[in-house]
Chain A
């Protein structure tokens, strides 16, 4: 498959701040790629470099096979961008702003535009200064999706949107995907990423710490198992890959590395399973693996399951392990 975006060893500093510290990113043509990380991880900086708004200090960046700084205008005709914080002209209406942005990009599908305005329930005759945060986002989303761009760069596009509009947004992105468009979606909303993205990249402090499909990532992390057995389960701690074993009477609970799940289950089977629940790590847990130490330094240990991986967090091995397969 052709790469829509390929970034290798990207560096960018603002004064003394190293916003990007050797970031890598590969997005295949036609996929929806999730771009995850907390505020200040370097997501927006990366996207602004892809847009040719910022100039990279060093590292290789190719966008649709071209240089995003030198070929900016040519590339911009083939892509659409939604910033996380949309600012509109106070005296221009939302409708005018949509037309302006879409036409400057090189064309506007009038019917599609009206349909999107309708679906997002946007009032196009209000002046920019009168719009709420969510409505300003809608203006940029409609402008981006009404154009015939082959690549969508979405930087936390739905901040301020209500849950209903979130559903509409997901629907529209899936439509775009079905139409063969490539999407880079930077987001905080993990449910959104889980639903939309084929692959994700997790960034931290300007570096990519993990990249792959959700399935691959899950395989590399622990599955949580809770079971009730006929006899109290013993000796499970001897099974390799089992962590955090808790046995209370006939109830047992542990986490197990993906590679050792089979061994753990046959070990458990010897005690006669009466009920069993297991769930793969959620995206939140995957994220927390990489940020657990930051949470801990903020005085939170996190309760319940999402916190579990943070027990293992001090070992930075997860980061290396995650980085290996790609």
Chain B
């Protein structure tokens, strides 16, 4: 708290020398303070986004060095499913490494830059109000609009820094088809879309009184923009023109290098930011335009049971992951029929698939999708299994454990939701994949095969949960260690075949022991062994939790 106050005291003292009562007084101080607070967070975002782009660009250069390879890439992209997941077809007319970036990566990056910008704005506006810190700051010499203005300025700084890093980095890579002018446009397209969503967040932050709600509403706008451009790029082009993500994709960067769509973004960003400012004057500090929703005055019977409470607390996350994984399954399923054609031209993937040993390319592809699905489900499982830790450090475990609820039952109910929820996610993803895969490949048997293939990963998920429970029971402060399991599983499972990792390294991950259905045959032994290991880990974790002090806030 002292560090929070120090710069403001300074502003308080220096304020009289500036204009005394502007609505934006103190913005500069808040911006500098925000940069100080977010220096690590922003650096990680910028570094990850920049390195991700540069790595992809380098990979394109490697994979598609000859005109023949590029022609094959065009062929694999020229399908509705592929276009829906990437961008408008016009890029295919001159499919250089640069055009591939604009086509395949820009839309995806727009979502990520959007998330970054939204989180910056909501973090420095609504979260400050929700925690009550804004009240303290507002009581000093700080103008009415200073918080919002400083949050938006932070977003501008971050977005422009990203644009600069991308432009410089891509130019430095010196790849055919990626010139300095195009690289600058490519970078600025990111900045433009970031600012649009920062403006959107400036509005949603006024509407609801809760940070998560404000960010969620803005994320929904990002999702809608992405969906609009997806349907527009497949069908009616006009739909894409309703989406700001569609706008930046229509700069046709590295193909036509059109600059004017960025102006559309800037206008929209400015308008929404100004609208946010206006809305903020119509509400009290700490309140939202929309009154907070009310709930039930009494608890339902289910809620007052440990498992019911755990389910309620996990519900939102579980539903979110369920929808996401189902969608992921449906999307992969829709291209299952074309998978054979798509991947046959990419040599490395081809080799990796051969190593898996599938009878058909479609089956091999399906096995690989399963790894991605399982890792995504593992992310949920770790989150869910570490939930008791979050409850404990937030001080919400203490009152519960001071009732007739035993530690074993409390932790057990959270673990049960993690295990059951993770398994349900696999089934849902497998079902989505199976149904849409069966439709696209014209093979009804796929439905059951793919559900079974996904479900086979359940024991590996349970082991993942077991590791988290073990850490929670014995070393509660080291909870983050449990994230190693899904991270390693992703590296080993997805990149392992491509990087040709030795078997023992693959087997370090619980996911490495799961039979790769449907390409490989079923093998029950490793699944039973994994289940036993999971049970052992969970029991050991429970034992540790029963012995240790509850950590007080």
Residues from chain A with a CB closer than 8 A to the CB of B396 are 87-89
Q: What is the size category of the interface that chain A forms with chain B?
A: 35 or more
- A93 and B297 CA atoms in complex are apart in Å by 7
Cβ A130 vs Cβ B292 within 8 A: yes
Cβ B295 vs Cβ A127 within 8 A: yes
Cβ A125 vs Cβ B404 within 8 A: no
Q: Is B267 an interface residue (CB 8 A)?
A: no
Residues from chain B with a CB closer than 8 A to the CB of A54 are 549-550, 552
Cβ A53 vs Cβ B398 within 8 A: yes
| B87-95, B298-306, B328-336, B466-474 - interface stretch | B298-306
B133 vs chain A, min Cβ distance (A): 15
Residues from chain A with a CB closer than 8 A to the CB of B298 are 95-96, 99, 124
- A181 and B295 CA atoms in complex are apart in Å by 33
Cβ A101 vs Cβ B399 within 8 A: yes
Evaluate whether A48 and B295 lie within 8 angstroms (CB atoms) in the complex, with A99-B304, A104-B403, A129-B210 already known: no
Task: Output the nearest chain B residue to A14 by Cβ-Cβ distance.
Answer: B549
Q: Is B484 an interface residue (CB 8 A)?
A: no
Cβ A73 vs Cβ B404 within 8 A: yes
- A48 and B397 CA atoms in complex are apart in Å by 12
Cβ A73 vs Cβ B406 within 8 A: yes
Q: Is A105 an interface residue (CB 8 A)?
A: yes
Evaluate whether A85 and B295 lie within 8 angstroms (CB atoms) in the complex, with A53-B402, A92-B312 already known: no
Q: Is A51 an interface residue (CB 8 A)?
A: yes
| A75-83, A172-180, A221-229, A255-263 - interface stretch | A75-83
Cβ B402 vs Cβ A125 within 8 A: no
Q: Which of B396-454 contact A (CB under 8 A)?
A: 396, 398-407
- A85 and B399 CA atoms in complex are apart in Å by 10
- A100 and B210 CA atoms in complex are apart in Å by 24
- A44 and B550 CA atoms in complex are apart in Å by 13
Q: Is B293 an interface residue (CB 8 A)?
A: yes
Q: Is B2 an interface residue (CB 8 A)?
A: no
Q: Which of A73, A89, A124 contacts B297 (CB 8 A)?
A: A124
Q: Which of A86, A91, A96 contacts B399 (CB 8 A)?
A: A86
Residues from chain A with a CB closer than 8 A to the CB of B398 are 48, 53, 83
Cβ A95 vs Cβ B401 within 8 A: no
Q: Is B309 an interface residue (CB 8 A)?
A: yes
Cβ B553 vs Cβ A85 within 8 A: yes
Q: Which of B502-553 contact A (CB under 8 A)?
A: 547-550, 552-553
- The total number of A-B Cβ pairs within 8 Å is 113
Q: Is A62 an interface residue (CB 8 A)?
A: no
Cβ A104 vs Cβ B295 within 8 A: no
- A100 and B306 CA atoms in complex are apart in Å by 9
Task: Output the nearest chain B residue to A149 by Cβ-Cβ distance.
Answer: B403
Q: Is B82 an interface residue (CB 8 A)?
A: no
Evaluate whether A126 and B313 lie within 8 angstroms (CB atoms) in the complex, with A100-B299, A101-B403 already known: no
Q: Which of A29-57 contact B (CB under 8 A)?
A: 44, 48, 51, 53-55
Q: Is A103 an interface residue (CB 8 A)?
A: yes
Q: Is A72 an interface residue (CB 8 A)?
A: yes
- A83 and B397 CA atoms in complex are apart in Å by 12
Cβ A76 vs Cβ B403 within 8 A: yes
- A257 and B122 CA atoms in complex are apart in Å by 63
Task: Output the nearest chain A residue to B397 by Cβ-Cβ distance.
Answer: A53
Residues from chain B with a CB closer than 8 A to the CB of A87 are 394-396, 399, 553
Q: Which of B111-161 contact A (CB under 8 A)?
A: 130
Evaluate whether A126 and B292 lie within 8 angstroms (CB atoms) in the complex, with A54-B550, A95-B299 already known: yes
Cβ B550 vs Cβ A48 within 8 A: yes
Of the candidates B209, B313, B403, the one having the most CB atoms from chain A within 10 angstroms of its own CB is B403
Task: Output the nearest chain A residue to B396 by Cβ-Cβ distance.
Answer: A87
Of the candidates B399, B402, B548, the one having the most CB atoms from chain A within 10 angstroms of its own CB is B402
Q: Which of B296-343 contact A (CB under 8 A)?
A: 296-299, 303-304, 306, 309, 312-313, 316
Residues from chain B with a CB closer than 8 A to the CB of A143 are 399
A99 vs chain B, min Cβ distance (A): 4
In the complex, per-residue mask of A112-142: 1 if CB is within 8 Å of any chain B CB, else 0: 0000000000001111011000000000100
Residues from chain B with a CB closer than 8 A to the CB of A153 are 402
B contact set with A: CB distance below 8 Å: 130, 209-210, 292-299, 303-304, 306, 309, 312-313, 316, 394-396, 398-407, 547-550, 552-553
Could you pull out 8 A-B pairs where Cβ atoms are within 8 angstroms?
A48-B550, A54-B552, A93-B296, A95-B295, A96-B295, A99-B303, A100-B304, A104-B400
A contact set with B: CB distance below 8 Å: 44, 48, 51, 53-55, 72-73, 76-77, 79, 81, 83, 85-89, 91-93, 95-101, 103-106, 124-127, 129-130, 140, 143, 153
